[in-house]
Structure 1
Amino acid sequence: MSTASHSNARQTEAPSSRLDRRFAALRRDNRAALVTYIAAGDPDYATSLATLTGLGEAGADIIELGMPFTDPMADGPAIQHATKRALDAGHTMAKTLDMVRELRRHDDATPVVLMGYYNPIYARGVGRFLDDARSAGVDGLIVVDLPPEHDDELCLPAAEAGLNFIRLATPTTDAKRLPGVLANTSGFLYYVSSNGVTGGAAPTVDRVKAEVERIREHSEIPIAVGFGIRTPEQAAAIGAFADGVVVGSALIDAQANGATPAEGTAAVHRLTRELSAALKTARA
Structure 2
Amino acid sequence: MTESHVGRVIDTRKAEGRGALISYLPIGFPDLDTSVDAAVALAENGVDILELGLPYSDPVMDGPAIQAATQQALSNGFRLSDAFTAVERIRARVDVPVVIMTYWNPVLQYGPTRFADDLKSAGGAGLITPDITPDSADDWIAESERTGLDRIFLAAPSSSEARLKQIVAASRGFVYTVSTMGVTGARADVDAAARDLVSRLRDAGAERACVGIGISTAEQVSEVLEYADGAIVGSALVSSLADGGVAGLARTAAALSGRR
TM-score (norm 2): 0.95
Instruction: Return 5+ residue gaps in structure 2 as ranges.
Output: none
Supply the distance in 2 between the matched residues of 1:101 and 1:192 (Cα, whole angstroms): 28
Aligned: 1:44 with 2:44: no
Hey, what does 2:110 align to over in structure 1? 124
4+ residue runs over 3 A deviation: 200-207
Q: How many Å apart are 1:268 and its aligned residue?
A: 1.2
Instruction: Write the deviation string for residues 239-275 of structure 1: whole angstroms up to 9, x where unpaired.
Output: 11210000000000111123xxxxx111111111111
Supply the distance in 2 between the matched residues of 1:204 and 1:276 (Cα, whole angstroms): 17
Supply the distance in 1 between the matched residues of 2:185 and 2:133 (Cα, whole angstroms): 22
- Secondary structure class of the residue paired with 1:31: coil
CA gap of 1:274–1:118, structure 2 versus 1, over 3 A, is same
Q: How many Å apart are 1:38 and its aligned residue?
A: 0.4
CA contact (8 A) 1:15 1:24 kept: no
RMSD of equivalent CA atoms: 1.8
Hey, what does 2:247 align to over in structure 1? 266
- Secondary structure class of the residue paired with 2:158: coil
Hey, what does 1:22 align to over in structure 2? 9
Hey, what does 2:145 align to over in structure 1? 159
- Secondary structure class of the residue paired with 2:231: strand
Supply the distance in 2 between the matched residues of 1:198 and 1:98 (Cα, whole angstroms): 26
CA gap of 1:176–1:16, structure 2 versus 1, over 3 A, is closer
- Secondary structure class of the residue paired with 2:161: coil
What pairs up with 1:90-105 in 2 under 5 angstroms? 90-105=77-92
- Structure with max Cα Rg: 1
Q: How many residues align?
A: 260
Task: Look up the equivalent residue of 2:118 and give its one-letter code.
Answer: D
Hey, what does 1:191 align to over in structure 2? 177
Instruction: Write the deviation string for residues 168-187 of structure 1: whole angstroms up to 9, x where unpaired.
Output: 00110121321222221110
Q: How many Å apart are 1:203 and its aligned residue?
A: 4.6
Aligned: 1:257 with 2:238: no
Supply the distance in 2 between the matched residues of 1:126 and 1:203 (Cα, whole angstroms): 38
What pairs up with 1:164-243 in 2 under 5 angstroms? 164-199=150-185, 201-204=187-190, 206-243=192-229
**1:62 aligned to 25, 49, 61, which one?**
49
